[in-house]
Structure 1
């Protein structure tokens, strides 16, 4: 799903599991849709276990900490898996191409 946060001009894209927890999250900022986050919960957990969480967070960001059923004030637009993957692939390529 995706939704737009008007105050910050950010598009938020979410992949959620069957229980509503965010498994991957993308944040695209401004009119150029610049990726500022493309985080995976599984990668975040591996970084945490390895003691490299700060490094992961500063590069890829984090996923939402509450399940979508507890969110208020958003009107998400449903996406297909293919639509999400296309945005994910592009955001990850652009983020990983930046110097650390």
Structure 2
């Protein structure tokens, strides 16, 4: 799904599991749609367990911490898996290529 937050001029793209937890998240900001986050919950958990959480957060960001069923004030637009992947791939590549 995707949502737009006009206060920050940011598009949020989410891949969620069956229980509504965000498992991957992309944030694109401004008119250029600059990636500011492309985070994976599984990778975040691995980084936490390995003691590299700060490094992961600074490079890729984090995913939402509540399941979507608990969100207030959002009107998500449903996306297909393919549509999410079209956003995830380029955003992730751009985030990964940034200097640490």
| Same fold at TM > 0.5 | yes
TM range (shorter): over 0.9
Unmatched segments (≥5 aa) in structure 1 = none
Cα deviation code 1:35-91 (max 9, x no counterpart): 000000000000000000000000100000000000000000000000000100010
Residue in 1 aligned with 2:66? Answer: 66
Indicate the structure with greater helix content.
1
**Partners of 2:99 and 2:55 in 1: how far apart?**
13
How far, CA to CA, are the matches of 1:25 and 1:92 in structure 2? 10
Q: TM-score, normalised by structure 1?
A: 0.99
Partner of 2:7: 7
Partner of 2:49: 49
Equivalenced residues, count: 100
Runs of 4+ in 1 over 3 A off after TM superposition: none
**TM-score normalised per structure 2:** 0.99
